[in-house]
Structure formats: C-alpha cells, structure tokens
Amino acid sequence: MNNGKRVFKIGDVEILEMIISGHFGSPETLPFKLNEWPQVRPAFSRILARLQTAEAAVRSIADPIRHMRESLKAGEQLDGAMAVRLAEDPHYLQGIARRAVQDMPDQE
C-alpha cells in the first residue's frame, strides 16, 4: 500500500511483465515517476521472478502428475501407480514447495 492506495496487485504477473517490458499505459497509472524507473526496474524484475517461481510451484502442487510428466527426461516413462501414490503424499508435495522457495531469486 502506498498512501492508502494499492501500488499493484500481488499475483498480477501480466501487469508486472508489462511494466518491466515498457508496455505501460499513461505515466499517471504507474506507482512511481518515470524518472525513477532505472531504480525501480530491478525490484520489479525480482518480484516478477519470485511470483513466477511461486506460481509454477502452485501449479505443480495442484497437478502433481502433470508436473511429473513434464519433468521426465527423454526416453523415461511415468510409473502410473507410483505417480498416483506420490500425488497423494503430502511430503512429496511439500518437497515441491520447499524446492520452489530455495529456487526463488534472492530478495534485496
């Protein structure tokens, strides 16, 4: 929050991507002045990277079997029975979340 107004919506990756890539609307819609952009851009980039990592982890936890399929190397096959057991195992799902936290870009 900035002066009682939301600066941006957490989770709105598309807006952050637009801001970072320079495809923003009028300067009045930005939560900072344009001359501040060189100082603000690295922070926005870090936030976007962290959100993307978190979003990928949530998707993997929500559909762990798809995650397993996408993680297969060339020539590997998924053992269906084992995949179902892992998908129901809270420790496996917790491992996905822990790896995502470890892989998140550092905050500064």
Domain range for 35: 13-103
- Percentage of the residues of the chain whose pLDDT score is greater than 90: 42
**Quick one: pLDDT at residue 59?**
92
The reply to whether 96 falls in a domain is yes
Asked if pLDDT for residue 71 goes beyond 50, the answer is yes
Determine the pLDDT at residue 8. Answer: 44
- Residue 80 inside a domain? The answer is yes
41-63 pLDDT per residue, tens: 787 788 888 888 888 999 999 99
Number of domains in the chain: 1
1 assigned to some structural domain: no
Which letter does DSSP use for residue 88 in this model?
A: T
Give CA torsion, residues 16, 57, 102, 104, to 10 deg. Answer: -10
Long-range contacts of 39-44 (CB under 8 A, 24+ apart): 42/108, 43/108, 44/16, 44/19, 44/20
Reported pTM = 0.63
Residue 44 CA to residue 27 CA, distance in Å, equals 16
| pLDDT band of 35, cuts 50, 70, 90 | low
Model pLDDT, residue 85: 97
